């Protein structure tokens, strides 16, 4: 078993097939789909996609997506110790780019857990691969994620229409200025 990573409030474990039921429950919640492509009907497909991407990235780089749980010493009375908080981390986009992604369970929204998870992911990526750009893409309507990503050390490098979400405005954030055609590629996939 892989040793967990700890933040001040969270225990982070690599996302594995044994976490499938937790992800399915989260992705079956309509509130989560406000910020994702699809609907709760896509929960099974989305869960499989996240688990597969986490494994591919972890095998190739040693880093991937984590499953986040509330630490025993961080329970706040509203959420008990061990509560599933969500998923997040980095996965490989290319030889020079990481994608930082987060999906937090609605019961854990607004408590700073997205910031803790994003910060841990940025730190792990920068330590393991200091020359690889950490990127994140979010929709303008997801102000909470944008705040968490900025608090984790990323900055907005582009605002404009989303290629993946027609009619929506997107944001691209990075930990450094994108090189060469990286920004153009990110814009076309936002």
The Cα–Cα gap between 91 and 95 comes to 11
- pLDDT value at 1 more than 70: no
- Side-chain-side CA neighbours of 131 within 13 Å: the count stands at 2
- DSSP 8-state symbol, 3: P
Q: What is the mean pLDDT of the chain?
A: 91
For residue range 153-177, what is the model confidence (pLDDT) as tens digits?
999 999 999 888 889 999 999 999 9
For residue range 72-83, what is the model confidence (pLDDT) as tens digits?
877 677 888 899
pLDDT of residue 90: 96
63 Cβ partners below 8 Å, 6+ apart? 57, 89, 90, 91, 98, 124, 125, 128, 129
- pLDDT value at 152 more than 60: yes
- Indicate the CATH number for domain 5-188: 3.40.630.30
pLDDT of residue 38: 73
Tell me what the mean pLDDT of segment 121-134 comes to: 96
How far apart, in Å, are the Cα atoms of 178 and each of 15, 24, 95? 28, 34, 13
Provide the residue ranges of all domains of the chain, joining segments of one domain with +: 5-188
């Amino acid at each position: 078993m892989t040793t967990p990573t700890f933040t001040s409030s969270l225990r982070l474990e690599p996302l594995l097939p044994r976490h499938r039921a937790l992800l399915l429950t989260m992705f079956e919640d309509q509130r989560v789909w406000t910020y994702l492509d699809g609907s709760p009907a896509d929960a099974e497909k989305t869960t499989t996609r996240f688990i597969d991407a986490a494994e591919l990235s972890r095998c190739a780089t040693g880093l991937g997506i984590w499953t986040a749980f509330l630490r025993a010493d961080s329970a706040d009375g509203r959420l008990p110790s061990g509560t599933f908080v969500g998923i997040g981390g980095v996965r490989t986009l290319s030889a020079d780019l990481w994608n930082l992604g987060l999906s937090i369970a609605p019961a854990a929204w607004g408590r700073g857990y997205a910031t803790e998870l994003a910060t841990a992911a940025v730190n792990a990526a920068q330590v393991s691969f200091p020359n690889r750009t950490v990127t994140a893409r979010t929709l303008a309507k997801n102000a909470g994620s944008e705040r968490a990503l900025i608090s984790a050390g990323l900055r907005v490098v582009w605002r404009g229409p989303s290629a993946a979400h027609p009619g929506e405005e997107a944001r691209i954030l990075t930990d450094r200025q994108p090189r060469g055609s990286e920004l153009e590629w990110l814009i076309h996939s936002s």
